[in-house]
Structure 1
Amino acid sequence: MPGSERLGVWEPATVWIGFAIAFSIAFIGSQIYFGLGMPEALYAIVIGNVFLAIYSSLIAVASVDGGLNFPLQMKEAFGKKGALLPIAVVGLLVNGWYAFQAWLAADVIRAAWDPSWYLLVVGVVILFGLPSLIGVGAMSDVVEKLVIPIMVLFAAYILFAQVIPAGTSILSQPAPGESIPFFVGVGLTWGTFAVSGTATGDIVRFAEDSKQAVLATIIAFLICNTSMMVLGALSAAALNSLDPYFGMIGLLGSIPVVAVAVVSLWSTCDACHYNATMSYTNLSSIISWRIAGVIGILAALITATTEVISNLENWLNLISILVPPIGGIIIADYFLLRRGFGYAETRVANYNWAAITSFAVAVGVNYYAYVTYPQLLPGLAGLLLCLVAYPVSVKVGVAVLGRTQMGSTFEPHNSVTETGPADD
């Protein structure tokens, strides 16, 4: 990516902040409290976000080298054609997040005013999906001008109207809902951004260097995401109920909670739709940015109106099974196999079967661990397997595992290109 296209740390950070200080993040924090109680919910949130920040920062450092977006990182790791598999997986999952955010906003409006559900959710999905076609600059403008002030007011209300009056007794409040294992709570935390954290190159490649990319990631997760999740958990503990909408339905005609949900979730949908669109455009040369954007909106419409996305725990478990192996392969490919030259050289093979096979086996291992050992951190087994098995299989492999017949895995190249809104 040319230096003239680098935006520094603030532009990528504000897009990440728009992801992290969302109504949905506080909502997920409250769900973690419902399953763990206090103070275990707070421990799980902090540990999950530390894990998330480390994982995403490693991918961010790799993406800044050459300014690669997520699809280009996949092509360098899985091969130019083999990359279609992980690109499609992440594109569909981040599209699912877009659908979930839109569904949640529509559900808040339904709880507040009980309008026609299908008309409501269709309108919300379409409205939330259109702005991302403009690009990152438009997203950061919206975040700076609308989302951050509104969410600061929301946080202030939760703190001063609910948490502080409840006192320190809420820090020992037992779980009011069905109990979950502690590391499942950690998994629910890190799973919220496992998809976007894996595709972080779509955002942080605009940073000027790896330090800025890591700083943007730390701001997003260790500060903003952690704060919003803790806020949601504390609110739920202060209310001591299973109310998912912070006791604000009915407050001043429900206008405050609807405004908070719509504005913050719209911003998050905007960014999720951008990531999904970026993935879809890289699946085929005939899929333009506009066509990919329409595909994302239609997919979200189907997912949100059928409400298959409404089971949060099952959704996050699916993410934990599928996504960590992809991140593990990015990390191992860049830091272990490309040590010393990074993305200055491109992978020769169209299919890197070492990566594809490692991914498939890791998904199977994650599913087995999920079914057999539900108390373990979801996704960790597959991630560790890819970090070890993938580079080993490349080093000992021959042509079938991604090398050419001449034995060379990489060849020099001078530049990389990306598919995005500017290409239309």
Structure 2
Amino acid sequence: MSSTTGDSSGIVQKLREFFKQDSERDEYSDQRVPDSERKGIWKPATVWIGFAIAYSIAFIGSQIYMGLGMPEALYAIVIGNVILAIYATLIGVAAVDGGLNFPLQVREAFGRKGALLPIAVLGILVNGWYAFQAWLAADVIRAAYDPNWYVLITLVVLAFGIPAVLGVDAMSEIVEKLVIPIMLLFVGYILFAQVIPAGTSILSQPAPGESIPFLVGVGLTWGTFAVSGTATGDIVRFAENKKQVIVATVIAFLICNTVMMLVGALSAAALASLNPYFGMIGVLGSVPIVAAAVVSLWSTCDACNYGATMAYTNLSDLVSWRVAGLIAIVAAYVTAITEVISQLQSWLLLIGIVVPPIGGIVIADYFLLRSRGYDDVRTADFNWAALVALFAAVGLNYYAYQNIPEALPGALGLILTLVVYPIAMRVGTRVLGDDRMGSTFESYEQSVSTSPSDD
């Protein structure tokens, strides 16, 4: 009897140890990353590479081809990734300067309580991406081998979510040792077995599917990483300087993401159809396509779950890093098993409406309003200028979606935040807040020496 009690107490103690709050274990979710914990360029870059060289990215490229045809699809993919790289780089440069993750950047822009809304929105959206990638991987396995769906999706969601809870180092290892080699083989197969034999005629094929405006194609491209690009600070804050952030972002978007989307578009043109399995079901027992989908989507799910966990743990002091990670896994499981996330184009358009204004406010707040960067710490609960600008920009994006279908999704709202928000902060300080820049500030040194009970 006493032995059983001892075993039980030991298990309880291990669970407490696993879930306890600890700055390093919690991936510095609620504070700046110390200089001593910066990881250089390779680990952040490999996590970003794992994001971008995903099977799902190639599939999105094939959808863009179906709506635009050639060569317009290629142009849209390149332009969209240039926009995405610039957008993510600006946010990442700000993040590495202060060593701040996305929730802490948003807190600096929106105020401590005002930040809860955009943090929750980004957390839910990136959690949705995790669910989509897991569902897509399970769907490829289902097409190849037809196992029991409920057992399959359960195993996939759990397996794909766990490394993120363990942190950036574990995620980087998966990308380096598994994802990069397998996806190089995947790209090589499509090029040599499909694209090159089809010849140059595929570069002038009209759209075989329902036509979409060119800028919608661009929007679908940058919508792939609008969420994670906005939350890029979660990853790149571990870099040592701004130059490393720029290099990592260029590698991720201007090289990896662009190449994967182009490969997907070229494959669809060569096959003359939208094939979610790239014509590889049945090839060598379907092992190559299953390996490419599972391994690449695994790394993408890790990164998405990492972002969702970072958001959820910043919504309440009661939620530790690993508890937040389990919440994200459960939420992704419910979303994936119902298959509601399978409507990809609608998902990307929703992201284009909601997300860019949040990133625009973060960019404007750092580059246009702060003379000392994040050395000035916003301590106010609400920055009303940021919140009003956010709602106005989302409304403008929705209006454009309904009435200006040829407009670049998200662009008008992003421009509004970059222009209107800083003007409002300069002109309306007495209405929107009390002090400099419409809010209360103190130096970083002051803020870290103030205990939470003193706030």
Instruction: Please give the TM-score of this superposition, normalised by the length of structure 2.
Output: 0.89
Q: Which amino acid aligns with 1:253?
A: G
Deviation string, structure 1 residues 309-337 (Cα, Å, up to 9, x no partner): 11111000000011000000001000000
User: Displaced runs of 4+ in structure 1, greater than 4 A?
Assistant: 404-408
Q: Which moved more, 1:235-244 or 1:191-200?
A: 235-244
Q: Which amino acid aligns with 1:96?
A: G
Partner of 1:131: 163
Partner of 2:424: 393
Deviation, 1:413, is: 1.8
Partner of 1:275: 307
Q: Is the 8 A contact 1:399 1:405 kept in 2?
A: no
Q: Give the Cα separation in 2 of the matches to 1:34 and 1:332.
A: 36
The partner residue of 2:45 within 7, 10, 13 is 13
Q: Give the Cα separation in 2 of the matches to 1:119 and 1:96.
A: 20
Select the structure of larger CA radius of gyration: 2
Q: Give the Cα separation in 1 of the matches to 2:229 and 2:294.
A: 23
Q: Is the 8 A contact 1:45 1:186 kept in 2?
A: yes
Partner of 1:337: 369
Partner of 2:261: 229
The partner residue of 1:323 within 311, 331, 355 is 355
Counterpart check, 1:62 vs 2:94: yes
For the aligned residue pairs, the C-alpha RMSD in angstroms reads: 1.5
Partner of 1:188: 220
Distance 1:178 1:297, change over 3 A: same
Distance 1:405 1:399, change over 3 A: farther
Q: Which amino acid aligns with 2:341?
A: I
Q: Give the Cα separation in 2 of the matches to 1:233 and 1:407.
A: 47
Q: Give the Cα separation in 2 of the matches to 1:5 and 1:165.
A: 49
Deviation string, structure 1 residues 273-327 (Cα, Å, up to 9, x no partner): 0010000000000011121111101111111111111111100000001100000
Deviation, 1:41, is: 0.5
Alignment of 1:177-216 (within 5 A): 177-216=209-248
Q: Is the 8 A contact 2:84 2:222 kept in 1?
A: yes
Instruction: Please give the TM-score of this superposition, normalised by the length of structure 1.
Output: 0.96
Q: Is the 8 A contact 1:348 1:403 kept in 2?
A: no
Q: Is the 8 A contact 1:348 1:404 kept in 2?
A: no
Partner of 2:384: 353
Partner of 2:408: 377
Q: Give the Cα separation in 2 of the matches to 1:159 and 1:51.
A: 26
**What secondary structure, in the 3-state scheme, does the structure 2 residue paired with 1:346 have?**
strand
Partner of 2:316: 284
Deviation, 1:263, is: 0.6
In structure 1, runs of 5+ residues without a counterpart are: 418-424
Deviation, 1:408, is: 6.0
Partner of 2:25: none
Distance 1:2 1:405, change over 3 A: closer
Alignment of 1:109-188 (within 5 A): 109-188=141-220
The partner residue of 2:342 within 310, 315, 322 is 310
Partner of 2:81: 49
Q: Which amino acid aligns with 1:175?
A: A
Distance 1:328 1:164, change over 3 A: same
Q: Give the Cα separation in 2 of the matches to 1:268 and 1:322.
A: 21
In structure 2, runs of 5+ residues without a counterpart are: 1-32, 449-455
Deviation, 1:119, is: 2.1
The partner residue of 1:362 within 385, 393, 399 is 393
Deviation string, structure 1 residues 36-57 (Cα, Å, up to 9, x no partner): 1110100000000000000111
Q: Is the 8 A contact 1:68 1:416 kept in 2?
A: no
Partner of 1:244: 276
Paired positions, count:
416
Q: Give the Cα separation in 2 of the matches to 1:361 and 1:297.
A: 32
Q: Is the 8 A contact 2:397 2:410 kept in 1?
A: yes
Q: Give the Cα separation in 2 of the matches to 1:165 and 1:47.
A: 27
Deviation, 1:243, is: 1.4
Deviation, 1:407, is: 7.2
